[in-house]
């Protein structure tokens, strides 16, 4: 889980999770960012479990290294 509390863009908080294509292979990332006057990082962290679930489902749609394509569940 990656967390940004305004380091990159002042006034913006964000969390991100990797879309894993294998034990050590990242294919993409899924993130949520919001203005810190609308939501704090603690509020945003409540979305982490759902964000991880989305990343897992998205990973199933990528071509894997052996050439197979997983079907989404």
Span 24-32, average pLDDT: 92
Q: Is the pLDDT of residue 68 over 90?
A: no
What is the SS3 assignment for 39? coil
In 3D space, the residue among 31, 29, 56 whose CA is nearest the CA of residue 44 turns out to be 31
pTM over 0.85? The answer is: no
Does the pLDDT value for residue 71 go beyond 60?
A: no
């Amino acid at each position: 889980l990656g967390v940004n509390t305004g380091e990159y863009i002042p006034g913006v908080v964000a969390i991100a999770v990797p879309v894993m294509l294998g034990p050590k292979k990242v294919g993409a990332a899924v993130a949520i960012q919001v203005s810190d006057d609308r939501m704090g990082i603690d509020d945003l962290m409540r979305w982490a479990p759902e964000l991880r679930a989305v990343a897992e489902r998205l990973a199933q749609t990528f071509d894997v290294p052996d050439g197979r394509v997983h079907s989404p569940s």
